[in-house]
């Protein structure tokens, strides 16, 4: 196939990749923070805290990421008068949506720590917060990594939604180039391959991280195929 | 914050049209993903790696790339190759194909979960391969995986708004069209947001009762 891509168009693709990566990193940070906050809140002893965290998870898991994005981009400015910079609006919508999926992962992993560990924490008269920080989380976090890794790939795929809002990410660059060249096979193939490579790199990094964290808690890594946990997205299975 | 109930009332007929299209896409997309997923799983079990390898790479690729870009690919590239379908058909193909790469893993887990004794019994009864699959393995495997498949239907529901980008007038498409005409953004987007929460909540209740019946 004769390539019609000029250096200028490749530059446009690179700009798109940069926006996608920025958005991915920012929303991953927000989603992780929200996931831990909501996931830990669901183990709180006050019912109202548990209820609010549960409400947040159900609402954000129940609705579509794209609708959240419409809400943040179009409804928030008119209804509340808050106009966010596109990058932050995208981060907010994606971070809150995927944070809700992550909260379920965090809750599940904490609940999976053996009861004896909790009892030991109580026997040592640790405060609830110390128990969480020193006993439960160090054991739960390595277990969260494989589902988080899958969620991260889902988040990467989710970042493409911002192109609908007119943000210049990789998918948006793809559309611009299609318009410029009047030819779509080549550019969309490149765009898909770039997303695939990014997803591949993400899974690699996460697998390294899992190994690292497990070694620190003195456990060995299962050498199973990573796909077996791929259904976090359909979180209700947990 | 100003909420206008009149705008909600005016939006309702459009909402109903959008809901019908959303549910159509969801049902057809689910059926396609259930069938294709099963095909992928069975292909992944063929003895020759010349089948397994391409299928594995293709499905891995589809699973790890955004559905949105895949929809653009279908919508803009297929006509270049001389294949034209209606927007809804294209959307259904996109949804079904994307989710088939998830359902294939569900089926795989279901098939691996069938006890080895069942395979041995089929062999002892001298059942041909086709009968072994259709009469022994699949009925047990599919039964086990219905809840997991249902979860993917709920995920797919939440991805149907993407079809808006390829000109399908599902709920979000109707909402956007209405907003642009009436200059009211708050009401339509909030209404369909709530509709999604309600539908996916009802679906999860339905699924839970189905799960109790089957498992």
ipTM confidence score: 0.87
Residue numbers of the domain that contains A47: 7-221
pLDDT for A235 equals 44
Burial class (CB in 10 A: 0-12, 13-18, 19+), B171: buried
Give residues with Cβ within 8 angstroms of B113, minimum separation 6.
B141, B144
Overall domain count for chain B = 1
From the centroid of its chain, how far is CA A166? Answer: 21
The residue written with tokens 């009762």 in the block is B209
Burial class (CB in 10 A: 0-12, 13-18, 19+), B204: middle
**CA neighbor of A163 nearest in space, from A79, A64, A73, A75:** A73
Give residues with Cβ within 8 angstroms of A208, minimum separation 6.
none
For A106-134, how does the pLDDT look when each residue is reduced to its tens digit (9 = 90+)? 999 999 999 999 999 999 999 999 999 99
CATH (domain of A61): 1.10.3720.10
Q: How far is residue B22's CA from residue B170's CA, in Å, rounded to a whole number?
A: 5
Overall domain count for chain A = 1
Where do runs of H (alpha helix) occur along B45-86? 49-63, 67-72, 78-80
CB atoms within 10 A of CB A40: 21
Q: Is the CB of residue A192 less than 8 Å away from at least one CB of chain B?
A: yes
What share of chain A has pLDDT > 70, as a percent?
A: 90
Q: Is residue B188 part of a domain?
A: no
Chains A, B: CB pairs < 8 Å: 140
Q: Is residue A232 part of a domain?
A: no
Q: Do A237 and B197 touch (CB under 8 A)?
A: no
Q: Is residue B99 part of a domain?
A: yes
Q: Is residue A238 part of a domain?
A: no
Q: Is residue A63 part of a domain?
A: yes
Q: Is residue B187 part of a domain?
A: no
Q: Is residue A1 part of a domain?
A: no
Query: What string of DSSP letters covers B161-191?
Result: GGGGGGT--SHHHHHHHHHHHH---HHHHHH
pLDDT for B189 equals 87
Q: How far is residue B80's CA from residue B18's CA, in Å, rounded to a whole number?
A: 29
CATH (domain of B81): 1.10.3720.10
Dihedral of CA A83/A87/A88/A91: which sign? positive
Residue numbers of the domain that contains B53: 15-173
Give buried/exposed letters for B12-45 (b at 16+ CB in 10 A, else e). Answer: eebbeebbebbebbbebbbebbbebbbebbbbbe
Chain B nearest CA to A235, separation (Å): 8
Q: Which of residues 44-73 of A touch B (CB under 8 A)?
A: 58-59, 61-68, 70-71
What tens-digit pLDDT sequence spans chain A (238 residues)?
A: 567 778 888 999 999 999 999 999 999 999 999 999 999 999 888 999 999 999 999 889 888 899 889 888 888 887 787 788 889 999 999 999 999 999 999 999 999 999 999 999 999 999 999 999 999 999 999 999 999 999 999 999 999 999 999 899 999 999 999 998 888 888 999 999 999 999 999 999 999 998 888 887 776 655 544 444 444 444 433 3
Q: Is residue A198 part of a domain?
A: yes
pLDDT for A75 equals 83
Where do runs of H (alpha helix) occur along chain A? 7-41, 47-62, 65-70, 76-80, 86-111, 115-123, 128-130, 137-159, 170-181, 185-216
pLDDT for A2 equals 61
**CA neighbor of B110 nearest in space, from B42, B36, B166, B184:** B42
Q: Which residues of chain B have pLDDT under 50?
A: none
**Would you state the structure tokens that stand for residue A96, as one six-digit string?**
């809150």
Q: How far is residue B123's CA from residue B48's CA, in Å, rounded to a whole number?
A: 22
Q: Which residue of B has its CA nearest to A184?
A: B77
Q: How far is residue A24's CA from residue A30's CA, in Å, rounded to a whole number?
A: 10
User: Which DSSP letter does residue B85 get?
Assistant: -
Q: Is residue A64 part of a domain?
A: yes
Q: Is the CB of residue B109 less than 8 Å away from at least one CB of chain A?
A: yes
Q: Are B147 and B204 in contact (CB under 8 A)?
A: no
Q: How far is residue B196's CA from residue A98's CA, in Å, rounded to a whole number?
A: 16
Q: Which of residues 80-99 of B touch A (CB under 8 A)?
A: 80-81
The partner residue sitting opposite A196, judged by closest CB among B61, B81, B154, is: B61
pLDDT for A88 equals 92
For A139-148, how does the pLDDT look when each residue is reduced to its tens digit (9 = 90+)? 999 999 999 9
pLDDT for A223 equals 52
Q: Which of residues 150-189 of B touch A (CB under 8 A)?
A: 151-152, 154-155, 157-162, 164-165, 172, 175-176, 179, 185-186, 189
pLDDT for A230 equals 44
């Amino acid at each position: 196939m004769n390539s019609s891509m000029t250096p200028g168009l490749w530059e446009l693709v690179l700009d798109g990749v940069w926006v996608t990566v920025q958005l991915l990193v920012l929303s991953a940070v927000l989603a992780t923070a929200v996931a831990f906050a909501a996931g830990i809140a669901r183990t709180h002893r006050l019912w109202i805290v548990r209820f609010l965290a549960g409400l947040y998870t159900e609402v954000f898991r129940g609705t579509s990421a794209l609708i959240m994005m419409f809400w943040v981009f179009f409804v928030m400015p008119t209804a509340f008068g808050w106009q966010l910079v596109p990058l932050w609006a995208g981060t907010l919508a994606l971070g809150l949506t995927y944070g809700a999926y992550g909260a379920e992962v965090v809750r599940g992993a904490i609940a999976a720590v053996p009861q004896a560990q909790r009892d030991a924490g109580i026997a040592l008269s640790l405060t609830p917060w110390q128990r969480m920080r020193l006993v439960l989380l160090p054991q739960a976090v390595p277990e969260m990594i494989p589902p988080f890794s899958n969620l991260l790939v889902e988040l990467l795929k989710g970042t493409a939604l911002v192109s609908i809002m007119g943000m210049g990410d990789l998918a948006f660059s793809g559309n611009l180039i299609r318009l410029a060249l009047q030819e779509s096979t080549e550019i969309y193939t490149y765009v898909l391959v770039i997303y695939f490579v990014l997803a591949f790199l993400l899974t690699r990094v996460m697998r390294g991280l899992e190994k690292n964290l497990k070694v620190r808690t003195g456990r060995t890594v299962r050498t199973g195929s990573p796909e077996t946990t791929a259904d976090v997205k359909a979180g209700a299975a947990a | 914050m100003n909420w206008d109930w009149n705008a909600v009332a005016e939006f309702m007929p459009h909402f109903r049209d959008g809901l019908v299209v959303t549910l159509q896409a969801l049902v057809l997309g689910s059926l396609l993903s259930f069938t294709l997923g099963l095909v992928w799983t069975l292909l992944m079990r063929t003895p020759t790696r010349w089948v397994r390898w391409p299928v594995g790479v293709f499905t891995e690729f589809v699973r790890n790339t955004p559905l949105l870009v895949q929809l653009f690919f279908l919508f803009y590239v297929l006509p270049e190759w001389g294949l034209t379908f209606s927007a809804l058909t294209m959307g259904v193909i996109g949804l079904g194909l994307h989710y088939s790469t998830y359902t294939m893993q569900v089926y795989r887990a279901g098939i691996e979960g069938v006890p080895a004794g069942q395979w041995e019994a089929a062999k002892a009864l001298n059942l041909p391969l086709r009968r072994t699959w259709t009469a022994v393995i699949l009925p047990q495997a599919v039964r086990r995986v219905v809840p997991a498949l249902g979860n993917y239907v709920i995920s797919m529901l939440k991805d149907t708004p993407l079809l808006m980008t390829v000109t399908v007038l599902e709920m979000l498409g109707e909402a956007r069209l209405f907003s642009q005409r009436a200059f009211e953004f708050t009401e339509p987007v909030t209404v369909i947001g709530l509709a999604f929460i309600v539908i996916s909540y009802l679906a999860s209740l339905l699924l839970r009762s189905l799960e109790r019946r089957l498992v």
